Homo-oligomer: A and B are copies of this chain.
Amino acid sequence: MAEKQYKIGEFSRKVNLSSFTLRYYEDEGLIKPRRNQNGQRFYGEQDVKWLKFLLHLKGTGMTMAELKQYVAWRAQGDATIQQRIKLLRRVKQDAEDQIRELENNLAIVNHKIDWYSGKLDETINADEDFEQYLKKFE
């Protein structure tokens, strides 16, 4: 039993990207679906996995240019593994920084919500401003 093949429409629903975007990614060299005798694209399970991996990379903030670089290195074989590791380490660092910053920003938002809540139920003095309130947590 051969593996499931998807045409672009079905595949686009599966990976939650428009057909436009899939063709765009293909133009950019990120994916290479097979074609049938009529030139229609067919995607298999490998393409699903590969695309999902790309989307994970993308989701860390990697740009198109970096993804293309990564793909180019991959196509060159094992000789470029060091470069790929180096790029991924940068991506890792970057993602960690983003997480830290988000957590930082989130903490402020949480304090602000608490402060507003306190104002509403009057457990916070009407005169105490957010700055003063924040000092309690330093």
Among A56, A57, A103, which residue has the most Cβ atoms of chain B within 10 A?
A56
Of the residues B92, B95, B113, contact of A88 by C-beta under 8 Å? B113
* B-contact bits for A82-97, CB 8 A (1 contact / 0 none): 1011001101100110
Instruction: Please tell me if the beta carbons of A102 and B59 are within 8 angstroms of each other in the complex.
Output: yes
Instruction: Please tell me if the beta carbons of B109 and A105 are within 8 angstroms of each other in the complex.
Output: no
Of the residues B95, B106, B117, contact of A105 by C-beta under 8 Å? B95
Report chain B residues within 8 Å CB of A78.
Answer: 119
Q: How many copies are assembled?
A: 2
Instruction: Please tell me if the beta carbons of B102 and A60 are within 8 angstroms of each other in the complex.
Output: yes
Q: Which of A42-82 contact B (CB under 8 A)?
A: 49, 53, 56-57, 59-60, 78, 81-82
Given the contacts A78-B119, A102-B98, A109 and B56 also touching, CB distance less than 8 Å: yes
Which chain B residue lies CB-closest to A96? B106
